[in-house]
Every structure is written in structure tokens, then in C-alpha cells.
Amino acid sequence: MFVICNEKTKVPIKIWLEDEGCLEESCLEQAYHLSQLPFLHKWVCLMPDTHTGKGMPIGGVIAAKDVIIPNAVGVDIGCGMDFVSTNIRVEDIRKIQTGNGSLVQAMIGGIMRGIPLNTERYRVPQESKVLDLAKREMEKYAENAELTELIDDGYFQVGSLGGGNHFIELQEDQQGFLCIMIHSGSRHLGKAICDHFHQKARELNRRWYSEVKEEYHLAFLPVSSREGQQYINWMNLALDYAFENRARMLDKTCGVVKELIGKHTGLSVEFGTEINCHHNYAALENHYDANVWVHRKGATRVREGEMAVIPGAMGSYSYVVEGRGNRESFCTSSHGAGRRYSRSGAMKAFSTEQVMVDLKEQDVVLGKRKKNDVAEECRFAYKDIDLVMAQQQDMVTPVRKLRTVGVVKG
């Protein structure tokens, strides 16, 4: 970790990397913008997977006094991870053949048939305790009439994966056991909430002659204001929805895995303790004797003893970790490996054939309806997860190291 404190900063910037040369110039510029915010507590943090985002770097963490910044949470509110282990050894199932190819291929196919991917939705509304509660508490949301239709629409998306870097993976841990990992968020709900309140914050900041420059894309809402409370209500709804969304997909995936392994091997599948955690959100926490709104945009909370999930890219490694409660990072770690290439840059640098050959050589089963954009999410487009982990030994302790066996992408 190193610290930047110069004429461009009002508060220090703490960066969990070797040196400034490891940062994109645009990412560092965004960190300078954050350090100029008048309501920050202590310092700006950049995790080892950091890269340029919208307004705030991905892998950025700030603690704000009495304000909340929609763009510092991001458009996929509640994006995060879900994980569970099993008692099944991968070596006991990998070579099993079924009428739909290998057992791993059959499980990947079963997951794809049961869970909508990319922009797909369910044809009929799904059960959602989160949305049912929101409808009973509609007084919390009614002032934002232009958003309320999102609640009804959400019934058709809960339990769906989405696209981009979201995935469902079958994995093998270092002891050879089969595990399941999911990366997804709040679907369209979170994006609509962010866009709506960012625009509202921009309008209010202009009216207040805010000293936060508009080109920073960091318009804020005082938490004591009506608009601030509205955003917090909607953000918390999206967080609960994202948590439920991942849990629903994990339940369906476990069902597929249990059914097919039982059918083709006679083995009885048992599941471990679920780990479901966000990495895009803001929360009121106490740090250095102050109650502050900690914004984590592509960053994972890891209090002492808290379990979390840090994924790599498909075909590489991922980790389950235990938090060490590092105060300097506001008890936070990276949320993944972090991009080396933009999506368009990866498409130019790596061919579909190159990525497919790489996955085949690693014996990874890919489930994806259209493969022409697979290079966007190949492992070459991301930083080396092991280097990222090496930079955050003061934040987390690895508990499991996992490699991809099969992956479903949107």
C-alpha cells in the first residue's frame, strides 16, 4: 500500500498497489476528484483491483459525513456474490457421461434452461418476499411515482442472471470439492434507481451552487433531505432485491446439481453454509469514532471474522476469504480481479477462437447462448487474481481457493 498526498488532494489517497505506475491515469484522476469532496472522512481508499468507473473508480471506497452519492454506489446497486460448497468431489463426477454430454455439461445445460440469462425474463411473475414487503410499505416509495412501476416489473426478473460480468460457476476447491458461485445484482431495478437519483442530485447541486464540480459526476444528496431519504429507501430495496435474486438462483442451481448428480451417480449432495454478500452499496457505519456513510463501489466489506467471496475471471481462480477488519481500508477488500482491458479493448485484443481454445485446454465447460462476445469476459481481460490477493494480505485471509469447472454467462 502507498499513499498520495500532494497539492491535488484535500485528503490522502491510500492505494493498495505497488506504486502509482500500476494505476490507469483516468482512475487516478477520479481518485483526485474524490479527494476534493468537502464531506469526506479521513481518506480515499483504492483496492488492488481498482480501475476507472463512472464518477468513482471501481474498487473505490469513501466514508462521507451526512451525505450519500448515487454514482459512488453505482448503477448495479447490490451487485455481489453468492457461494456454497458441497460434499461432492469433482473427480467423482467429471468423467460421468449422460444423454446430454458429460455430467458437468448436463448441469450447465440444466442451469441455462432454468435461469433467464442476459436480457431474458420470466414469462410469469415469480415469488418475491422483498417486493411483497415493498408493496405493503408503498408509502416509503410513493413520492417517486415514476419508479414505482419497477416494483411490479421486478417480479419478472427476480432469479435471473443478467449479462456483462455476471456468472454462475461450478468450481473445484483446493481439496477437490465441488462448489457453486454466483455473481449478479439488482438487474434493471438498481440501474433505474441510480439514474433517477443521480439526475435529481445534479439538479439540486446546481441549485445549491455546490462546490462539487459537475464534471466529477459525483453529485450528492444530504441524508437529512427528503431526496436523500428517498434514495436510501430505494437503495435498500435494491440491496434486498439483489440479495434475494442471488439466493433464488443459488437455490435453483443447487436443485439442478443435486438432481443430476443423484440421478447419474447415486451420490447424495449436501450443501455447506451460504455466503451472500454485496459489493456495490452504501451503509451507515462507525469508523474512527464517527458515524459515516461508507460507499463501496466494487469493494467488499470484510470486518474481522466476516466471510466474503472474491472472484477471478472465468477459467482462472476465485477465493473465499475471512476478513481481518483492516481499519485503514474501512474494513474493505477488493471485489474481484479488476479489468486490464475495457470490453471493447478485450474484443480487439483477443479472438473468440483464442478464448474458446483456452477454456478447452483448461477443461472448462462454457454455457453461453452467443459466443461472439466471449472475449469481453475472458481471463486475459482481467488482472491476475493472485497478484490482487497478494496486495491485500492485511485485509483478508484466504479460506478456499477455487478454479472454474463450468461457467454460465449471459
Distance CA 161, CA 121 (A): 9
End-to-end CA distance of the chain: 35
Measure Cα distances from 242 to 211, 331, 337 in Å: 34, 22, 21
Q: How far apart are CA 332 and CA 308, in angstroms?
A: 10
Residues 6+ apart with CB under 8 A from 82: 181, 182, 184, 246, 247, 249, 250, 274, 275, 276, 277, 309
CA distance linking residue 23 with residue 226, whole number of Å: 38
User: What are the cell numbers at 375?
Assistant: 472475449
Contacts of 282 (CB under 8 A, 6+ apart): 68, 69, 72, 73, 235, 293, 294, 295, 296
Q: In 140-291, which ranges are continuous DSSP H helix?
A: 145-154, 187-207, 226-265
78 CB contacts (<8 Å, ≥6 apart)? 185, 186, 190, 238, 239, 240, 241, 242, 243, 278, 280, 281
Rounded Cα distance, 287 and 42, in Å:
9
Are the C-beta atoms of residues 220 and 201 closer than 8 Å to each other? yes
Closest listed residue to residue 282, CA positions, set 328, 327, 332: 332
State the DSSP H helix or E strand holding residue 399, giving kind and residue range, or none if neither. Answer: strand 396-409
> 80 forms bridges with which residues in the sheet?
184, 278
Which residue in 166, 183, 279, 335 is the catalytic one? 335
Please indicate whether residue 183 is annotated as part of the active site: no
Which letter does DSSP use for residue 9 in this model? -
Q: Hey, which residues are catalytic here?
A: 335
